[in-house]
Amino acid sequence: MSKRAILAVPAAVALTTAVVAGCAGSGGSSHSGSKATSGSSSTQRTGPAPTESNPPGDIPDNQVYVAYRPPAGGFTVKVPEGWARSSAHGTTTFSDKLNKVEVSQSSTGTAPTVQSVKTGTVPALRKQATHFALGGVTTVHRKAGQAVRITYRTDSAPNQVTGKSVRDSVERYVFFHNGRQVVLTLTGPTGADNVDPWRIVSDSLRWQ
């Protein structure tokens, strides 16, 4: 074997070793990145449900409203036509997708005030509602008279199919007339533009 051939062999061996080492380094880096991705996907949410960037739940402008009168009488209120109706524990609920209108009536000797609602109703809501966040308690005027309005946010019940909750905004009105109290609760996804529909419903209450 010539001296030139003997010198070429170590050079080829060195080149092969360098290529193998480079491939091993590249493979190790890729495996490390895969682990990081897997670990981040296992994080669980413990805070309130996120607000949708483009929230569903807008009630159409052409929605038709019909008068509802409870079996016991005493008042009527307009609710969206075609919504599903159910009753439980003295409360009648009208619902469609992510929106709800709840109506209940009771007898009471005194009219509600901002203070009585803050000390009585709000603590009860805080215990019942998931991730409750109070907006405010104020006095408002509607065609049926003065009402105390509570605004707050809460998580909806989990979807039966996906298990996911959405963040809801709630308007709760407490009306009083001649010893009778009507509570009107309007619920929809946070961010949905339901200002006008909720005004139509809350302004439609009529005592009988």
**Residues 91-115: tens digit of each pLDDT:** 999 999 899 999 999 999 999 999 9
Nearest of 113, 97, 105 to residue 147 by alpha carbon: 113
Exposed (0-12), middle (13-18) or buried (19+): which is 134, by Cβ within 10 Å?
middle
Q: 114 vs 103, 106, 181, 205, CA distance in Å?
A: 20, 18, 15, 20
pLDDT(73) > 80: yes
pLDDT(70) > 80: yes
Q: What is the pLDDT of residue 56?
A: 76
pLDDT digits (tens, 9 = 90+) for 177-202: 999 999 999 999 999 999 999 999 99
**Average pLDDT for the chain:** 83
Task: Give 177's strand partners.
Answer: 180
Q: What predicted TM-score, i.e. pTM, was given to this entire model?
A: 0.74
pLDDT(29) > 60: no
Percent with pLDDT over 90 in the chain: 71
